Structure 1
Amino acid sequence: MEEVMKEIMKATASINQEDLLHDFRPMLVIYKDGRVERFLGTQSVPPSIDSLTGVESKDVISTETGVSVRLYKPQCVESDEKVPLLVYFHGGGFVLETAASPLFHSYLNVLSSKAKIIIVSVNYRRAPEHPLPAAYDDSWAALEWVRSGLAGAEPWLSQHVDPARVFLAGDSAGANISHHMAKRVAKSNNPDGKITLKGLVLVHPYFWGKDRIGSELQKLNPTTGTKQTSDDSESMIDKMWKLAHPGTTGCDDPWINPGMDPELGELAGEKVLVFVAEQDTLRDRGFHYKDLLVKSGWKGEVQVIETEGEGHVFHLFNPSSPKASELMDQFVEFINTC
């Protein structure tokens, strides 16, 4: 991935800085005329019957909301069999990638096959063209569509899903969305009783805050309290959040900092699994999230699993590596034993 970043920077070096309103290379740039040009997450693949796993996928667009989702159904599911449902929210900092991205399409094919689950992958609108809370609104609309699908509107859901075993998951910004959707599920009262949220899987969650925590503090001079070295990744996180949510109150906004949310303990689900990566700038936010949940009085169980020597969403960029395979196995075990 590092080599890809370098190639993008080299290829975009000729861009005239004076034409830019915002420069987020190697991810994207925003021109003064309002045009957005992305350099990552621009590829897409159609739904298919995957040749490696046999998983079948299809795209569905809600006629009521216009929100699209991609569904995955493993070949091994019998005609009258009920299996768990995973609603997945892709990452990309709220500004990159789609549900049709090769990264997520390939990953969810394998996950659907190994876990023997139906998956609904949500294609929410992205910032900056559609700033937050658009992604949250679309994600909730997708869950409402899932509810109608379980009631009979979508055969893959009504025929094959056990409504008592529904999970939410996502990576990075998608993990952030999963958390907020679980809170909204708890508040929705679920009047028709069709969905029982069993658990959440948050992979390298995109949470942040104004004050440094954990190992982030090691980058400060203990005498002066100032940074000993600059950290471009932390600065980028701050800037990307403000790009995605121009109306934010800052990095202590409850949308990105769970520690500032007085209603944190009002979370649907019985169990939460959080994955963190040792070399990820967001690492300590995952551990902090666990501590916050415990202190909030939430009655469920929360576990954090750390992958040593790896960075942010490494499992998507190198899915065949031993550590990515281990993360996949832990993901599958959580769903199958919850």
Structure 2
Amino acid sequence: MNAYGTKSHHSLRIDIKVEIVDFKLQQAMDPDAEVERDLSPFLRIYKSGRVERLLGTEVLPAGTDPATGVASKDVLFDPDAGLWVRLYLPDLAGCTPDKRLPVVVYFHGGSFTVETAASPTYHNYLNSLVAAACVLGVSVNFRRPPEHPLPAAYDDSLAAVRWVTETGEAWVAERGDLGRVFLAGDSAGGNIAHQVALRAGAEVLGGGAVIKGLVLIHPFFWGAEPLGSEDPVFGERIDSVWRLLCPGTSGLDDPRVNPLAELAPSLGALPCRRVLVAVAEKDRLRERSVAYYEALRRSGWDGEALLLESAGEQHVFHLHNPHSDKARAKLRAVVDFLTAE
């Protein structure tokens, strides 16, 4: 205390230091502030169990897209679990009159953990795809790990496909052609599309629905042993994350992450007659996708498999730079696949 009855600068500095130390101690003792696992750039998990998602948290409402004329709406199909889909209907003036539309069920990417069917990235992509292909789009909002570990996302996605084939919802019932159902997805969504196709193929879907094709865009597949030039260090990180997403897993040769594993169902069991596998030259998942394509052709599967490669590009580049020439070419290739008779 100085002559004027106030604290000296030295005393103030001590008090500030004490307050900072106290704050840090409180923070260290607060499980809601202490990070247990940092999985940047996707999420952080705190000791309290709180999950902080670092990307894919923005949402766009459904409605009519002024750029494409595509209309969208959200439909709750399992109120108990809070499961919903976002439906997309193109401007019918630009489609073949009085003709039902192919139905594309789309599973979003995001390492299973981030993004939603309402994310700007996926809302905008579905608007573009639906407008260009003149299809009925169904974007699935599945539950995500770590709050809802796998196989929740697979179960929810299969439930969405069943709903599509059984619902009396007006857009689907009046405009959708259930004889031309396609399953599609990118990254983790491509993994889901493959798994759902196998599971749906083992049952009789409602409405006489037929899964005509499968579109796997940079699908998330891996395995215990590296292929070709795969980075073992990257593989170790995938192994650690996969065990978090899918508790009780056998590891990276679990058929859910490695469709070429010894115990995985034969690719010849895919129920569709056409498959498009899209890869990017600089994507670390590329070699797995190419191996999937080659194994499918060797499996005895009686269908047409197509491999589309984008030279010089990274993982899901078309979502990050949708107006580039290569992204437009890729969209065109997917449209051609969906609309081929």
Q: TM-score, normalised by structure 1?
A: 0.87
| Cα pair 1:286 1:304 within 8 Å, conserved | no
Q: CA deviation at 1:26?
A: 1.9
**Following the alignment from structure 1 to structure 2, what is the Cα–Cα distance between the partners of residues 90 and 51?**
23
Tell whether 2:91 aligns with 1:83: no
In structure 2, the residue corresponding to 1:70 is in which secondary structure?
Answer: strand
Alignment partner, residue 47 of structure 2: 32
Deviations 1:178-229 (A, max 9, x none): 1111111210033x4521111001000000001011232xx6xxxxxxx6xx
Alignment partner, residue 277 of structure 1: 280
Q: How has the CA–CA distance of structure 1 residues 126 and 172 changed in structure 2, closer, same or farther, with 3 Å as cutoff?
A: same
The equivalent position to 1:22 in structure 2, one of 37, 49, 52, is: 37
**Following the alignment from structure 1 to structure 2, what is the Cα–Cα distance between the partners of residues 78 and 327?**
23
Q: CA deviation at 1:63?
A: 4.3
Q: CA deviation at 1:304?
A: 1.1
Deviations 1:114-160 (A, max 9, x none): 000000000000000000000001001101110112xxx11101111
**Following the alignment from structure 2 to structure 1, what is the Cα–Cα distance between the partners of residues 335 and 303?**
19
**Match runs of 1:145-224 below 5 Å:** 145-149=163-167, 153-190=168-205, 192=206, 194-216=208-230
Tell whether 2:240 aligns with 1:239: yes
Deviations 1:256-310 (A, max 9, x none): 1011214332111011000001111100011100122123221111111111111
Question: Unaligned stretches of 5+ in structure 2?
Answer: 1-26
| Cα pair 2:191 2:219 within 8 Å, conserved | yes
Taking CA–CA contacts closer than 8 Å with sequence separation of 6 or more, which of the two structures ends up with the larger relative contact order?
A: 1
Q: TM-score, normalised by structure 2?
A: 0.86
In structure 1, the residue corresponding to 2:225 is in which secondary structure?
Answer: coil
Runs of 4+ in 1 over 6 A off after TM superposition: 15-18
Aligned residue pair count: 307
| Cα pair 1:131 1:245 within 8 Å, conserved | yes
In structure 2, the residue corresponding to 1:159 is in which secondary structure?
Answer: helix
| Cα pair 2:185 2:192 within 8 Å, conserved | yes
Alignment partner, residue 72 of structure 1: 88
Alignment partner, residue 263 of structure 1: 266
**Following the alignment from structure 1 to structure 2, what is the Cα–Cα distance between the partners of residues 235 and 141?**
32
Deviations 1:57-98 (A, max 9, x none): 000001465420000000125784311110000001110100
| Cα pair 1:67 1:141 within 8 Å, conserved | no
The equivalent position to 2:296 in structure 1, one of 293, 296, 302, is: 293
Question: Unaligned stretches of 5+ in structure 1?
Answer: 1-14, 220-226
Tell whether 2:72 aligns with 1:45: no
| Cα pair 2:226 2:235 within 8 Å, conserved | no
Deviations 1:7-62 (A, max 9, x none): xxxxxxxx979922211112111011111001111111110100100000000001
**Following the alignment from structure 1 to structure 2, what is the Cα–Cα distance between the partners of residues 236 and 60?**
36
The structure whose Rg is larger is 2
Identity %: 50
**RMSD across aligned positions (CA):** 1.9
